[in-house]
Amino acid sequence: MCVNIKHKNSVFSSLFSEPEILRELYSAIKDVEVPEHAIIDINTLSDALFMGQINDVSFTIDNRIVVLIEHQSTISNNVPTRLLMYIGRVYEKILDREKLYQKNLVKIPTPEFIVLYNGKEEYPDYNELRLSDAFIDTELDKSLELKVKVYNINHGRNPEILEKSKNLDGYSFFIDKIRQYNKDLSIEESVKKAIKYCIDHDILKHYLKKHASEVVNMLFEEISIEEIVAIRSREAREEGREEGLEQGRENEKIIIAQNLLSKGSSLEFVQEITGLDLETIQRLSS
């Protein structure tokens, strides 16, 4: 039986889905105090064609700032391009389109783009990704730019941020605990044991008690996908040494795509992970 993996139906998106928690998260990341009277409106994108959520979290603060936050366990250099598409759809969602054809300037919320990384590969505490790095012709004037701020939220990294957000710190600790248990136990048992440990020690206690079964299912799928990608990447790299680097890279993408598709991943998710064109992925899925 094929598992239907809704890649955006993640524990991160589920946990950070309430205005007060987002207020705490943004305040910690930006080192500011978002006042209690500031209105947090969640506008995370959803679309039936893409199996539910499209982006992880997006929200406005007093209709002055619009924040898009992506959570990644593997950094994709295509994030700025994706966020460019997301922000266009968010503006379509929150703005009155008719007013944009008026003579007077329509003020729009200022966008902020944030990625929170908690993968296993080494990554700096802070990094920036720019849309212009993807431009084919780098000699032309960069009329369009988009900067993404990437923060490493693994346990022990960026303590000044984690200390200010109980929920983000709890999430970081929870994922780290799962990885510790997973050295000796199965994924499912590791998640269950980490949930029990965190509840017993008042870490994300309310959330984990309320959503324990969903958390087990979501994380089992998320971590399984991570393992598939990592294992197949290593296998494909070995093939690449024998067949030539370029062919090896293509083999790597195809092998990963085939395994993700066999697990029921969406075409969009496979394209995001592998970078293969949609036509090739559709052919592999048939």
Q: Does residue 69 belong to any structural domain of this protein?
A: yes
- CA dist 178 and 189 (Å) reads 9
Q: For 7, which DSSP code?
A: T
User: Reduced to 3 states, what is the DSSP secondary structure of residue 170?
Assistant: helix
- CA dist 187 and 201 (Å) reads 21
- CA dist 190 and 186 (Å) reads 6
Q: What is the pLDDT along the chain (286 residues), one digit of tens a residue?
A: 233 333 345 899 999 999 999 999 999 999 999 999 999 999 988 754 444 457 889 999 999 999 999 999 888 899 999 999 999 999 999 999 999 999 999 999 999 999 999 998 899 999 999 999 999 988 888 889 999 999 999 999 999 999 999 999 999 999 999 999 989 988 889 999 999 999 999 999 999 999 998 898 888 766 656 655 555 555 555 555 555 555 556 776 787 788 778 767 778 777 877 778 888 888 888 7
Contact 146, 84 (CB under 8 A): yes
* pLDDT score of 4: 33
Average pLDDT, the chain: 85
Instruction: Tell me how many domains the chain contains.
Output: 1
- How many residues does the structure list for the chain? 286
Sheet bearing 126-130, strands edge to edge: 40-42, 57-61, 65-72, 110-117, 147-152, 126-130
- CA dist 245 and 237 (Å) reads 8
* pLDDT score of 1: 28
Paired tokens of 9: 């139906």
* pLDDT score of 263: 64
pLDDT in tens, 255-268: 778 877 876 777 87
Q: Does residue 258 belong to any structural domain of this protein?
A: yes
The amino acid that residue 264 corresponds to is: G
Q: Does residue 240 belong to any structural domain of this protein?
A: yes
Q: Does residue 112 belong to any structural domain of this protein?
A: yes
pLDDT in tens, 168-192: 999 999 999 999 998 998 888 999 9
* pLDDT score of 246: 57
Provide the domain limits for residue 140.
11-285
Instruction: Identify the sign of the CA torsion 234, 239, 240, 246.
Output: negative
Q: Does residue 187 belong to any structural domain of this protein?
A: yes
Q: Does residue 251 belong to any structural domain of this protein?
A: yes
Q: Does residue 5 belong to any structural domain of this protein?
A: no
Instruction: Tell me the whole-structure pTM to 2 decimals.
Output: 0.76
The amino acid that residue 199 corresponds to is: I
Instruction: Identify the sign of the CA torsion 169, 5, 226, 178.
Output: positive
Report in angstroms the alpha-carbon separations of 71 from 40, 186, 219.
Answer: 19, 24, 14
Q: Does residue 4 belong to any structural domain of this protein?
A: no
